[in-house]
């Protein structure tokens, strides 16, 4: 008989936006036996504890994860990979190690190297904000969000079931994918848009150096298309560098579409340009955001 979430001690390593928001949900809804928080900065540890976001808080990762039933790594991707190796000797037999990283290939490879008595499962909640840190955290961040789970071949059905229970308990919708499929898909709908938004901001900035009035004219269209360029740089560097092949493939596809649009415009091919734009409009209209 598998352990229920209500009986579990959950340790969350990383109390930024994602980790602290999850801790708040677990605490406020009494979803588990105990919530522990681990953060690098002592100020974050104190803030989380006195805000009631965790039962216990520490800046020592080994103390934080020892004896936990579920360990959730909510730090930047390359930090997650390092932490998996760091905490391995401290984990008790049967501990489940999850993560909340935005790419899964390197993370799942590291998870697979954990000792045989540890249960690994990758994860990625498809939600967030441009702002980072404990101050940005909020309850219900995961409500109605898709939360990808990436089990490994060694991951037991009981582990998948408990991870699914946790995801559903905070109001998210679990979707099971392979690490490779996840990384290809998020390269398309998350990582590529970040690069496109960054390039757009650089382009407008160049115009603004000659004519600052451009910033006064910028309104909803620029705001919406450039929004993700304000995301945390370190976080996205980790994402891009751990998902290079998939991101490069989608970037090449995007550049090809831009080149085609430029060619139609340069040649005055209004019919081809209209057809291309109309096709994009129709495809975008079919998609209905979940939140």
The answer to whether residues 196 and 228 touch, using CB atoms and an 8 Å cutoff, is no
CATH architecture for segment(s) 182-286:
Orthogonal Bundle (1.10)
Q: Concatenated DSSP letters for 136-156? A: G--TTTTTT-EEEEEE-TT--
Of 254, 68, 98, the C-alpha closest to 172 is 98
Residue 179 to residue 243: CA distance in whole angstroms: 11
The answer to whether residues 62 and 91 touch, using CB atoms and an 8 Å cutoff, is no
Per-residue pLDDT of the chain (291 residues; tens, 9 = 90+): 678 999 999 999 999 999 999 999 999 999 999 999 999 999 999 999 999 999 999 999 999 999 999 999 999 999 999 999 999 999 999 999 999 999 999 999 999 999 999 999 999 999 987 778 999 999 999 999 999 999 999 999 999 999 999 999 999 999 999 999 999 999 999 999 999 999 999 999 999 999 999 999 999 899 999 999 988 888 899 999 999 999 999 999 999 999 999 999 999 999 999 999 999 999 999 988 765
For the chain, give every domain's residue range: 5-176, 182-286
- Give the CATH H-level superfamily of domain 5-176: NAD(P)-binding Rossmann-like Domain (3.40.50.720)
How confident is the model at residue 229, as a pLDDT? 92
Q: Output the six-digit token pair for 197.
A: 């938004």
- CA diameter of the chain: 68
Residue 218 to residue 216: CA distance in whole angstroms: 6
Residue 190 has what DSSP assignment? Answer: I
Q: Output the six-digit token pair for 236.
A: 């996205």
Give the containing element (helix H, strand E) for 281.
helix 270-286
Residue 150 to residue 290: CA distance in whole angstroms: 21
SS3 82: helix
């Amino acid at each position: 008989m598998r352990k229920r979430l209500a009986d579990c001690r959950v340790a969350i390593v990383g109390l930024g936006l994602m980790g602290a928001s999850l801790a708040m949900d677990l605490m406020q809804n009494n979803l588990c036996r105990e919530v522990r928080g681990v953060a690098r900065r002592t100020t974050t540890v104190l803030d989380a504890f006195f805000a009631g976001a965790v039962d216990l808080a520490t800046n020592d990762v080994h103390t934080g994860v020892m004896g936990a039933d579920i360990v959730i790594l909510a730090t930047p991707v390359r930090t997650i990979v390092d932490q998996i190796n760091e905490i391995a000797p401290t984990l008790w037999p049967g501990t489940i190690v999850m993560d909340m990283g935005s790419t899964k290939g390197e993370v799942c490879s590291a998870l697979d190297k954990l000792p045989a008595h540890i249960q690994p499962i990758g994860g990625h909640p498809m939600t967030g904000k441009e702002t980072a840190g404990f101050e940005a955290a909020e309850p219900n961040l995961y409500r109605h969000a898709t939360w990808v789970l990436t089990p490994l071949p060694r991951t037991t059905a009981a582990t998948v079931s408990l991870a699914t229970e946790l995801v559903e308990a905070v109001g998210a919708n679990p979707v099971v994918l392979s690490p490779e499929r996840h990384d290809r898909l998020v390269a398309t709908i998350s990582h590529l848009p970040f690069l496109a938004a960054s390039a757009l901001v650089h382009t407008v900035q160049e115009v603004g150096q000659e004519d600052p009035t451009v910033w006064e004219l910028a309104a909803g269209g620029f705001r919406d298309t450039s929004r993700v360029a304000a995301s945390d740089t370190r976080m996205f560097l980790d994402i891009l560098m751990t998902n290079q092949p998939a991101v490069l493939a989608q970037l090449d596809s995007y550049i090809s579409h831009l080149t085609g649009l430029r060619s139609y415009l340069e040649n005055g091919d209004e019919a081809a340009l209209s057809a291309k734009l109309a096709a994009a409009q129709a495809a975008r209209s079919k998609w209905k955001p979940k939140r």
